[in-house]
């Protein structure tokens, strides 16, 4: 950190920039956590879909209907669009 040559105090710009970087780091960490959570949910859905696709049994239609029902009952978060009809 740059200090004033006369008094040794931190220069105001660098103090501000340091605080700004700390805030940016916290926001980045929060976004990373949100992406990790979203990624885990998507992976779970893909696993279920893979199981349905590979399952040749008579329960396929029932499983699809059950997924639609749970998806329609779940609240839609801001920024997401409902893709099932």
Does the predicted model carry a pTM greater than 0.85? no
Pair of tokens at residue 52: 């349905």
Predicted local confidence at residue 22, as pLDDT = 94
Over its length of 85 residues, how does the chain's per-residue pLDDT go in tens digits?
567 667 777 677 778 888 999 999 999 999 999 999 899 899 999 988 888 777 766 567 777 788 888 877 766 555 555 554 4
Q: Domain limits of the chain?
A: 12-73
SS (H, E, C) 20-84: HHHHHHHHHHHHHHHHHHHHHHHHHHHHHHHHHHHCCCCCHHHHHHHHHHHHHHCCCCCCCCCCC
């Amino acid at each position: 950190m740059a200090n004033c040559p006369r008094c040794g105090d931190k220069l105001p710009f660098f103090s501000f920039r340091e605080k700004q970087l700390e805030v940016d780091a916290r926001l980045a960490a929060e976004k990373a956590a949100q992406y990790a959570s979203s990624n885990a949910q998507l992976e779970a859905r893909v696993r279920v879909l893979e199981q349905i696709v590979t399952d040749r049994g008579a329960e396929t239609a029932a499983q699809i209907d059950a997924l639609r029902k749970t998806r329609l009952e779940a609240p839609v978060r801001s920024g997401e669009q409902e893709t099932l009809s």
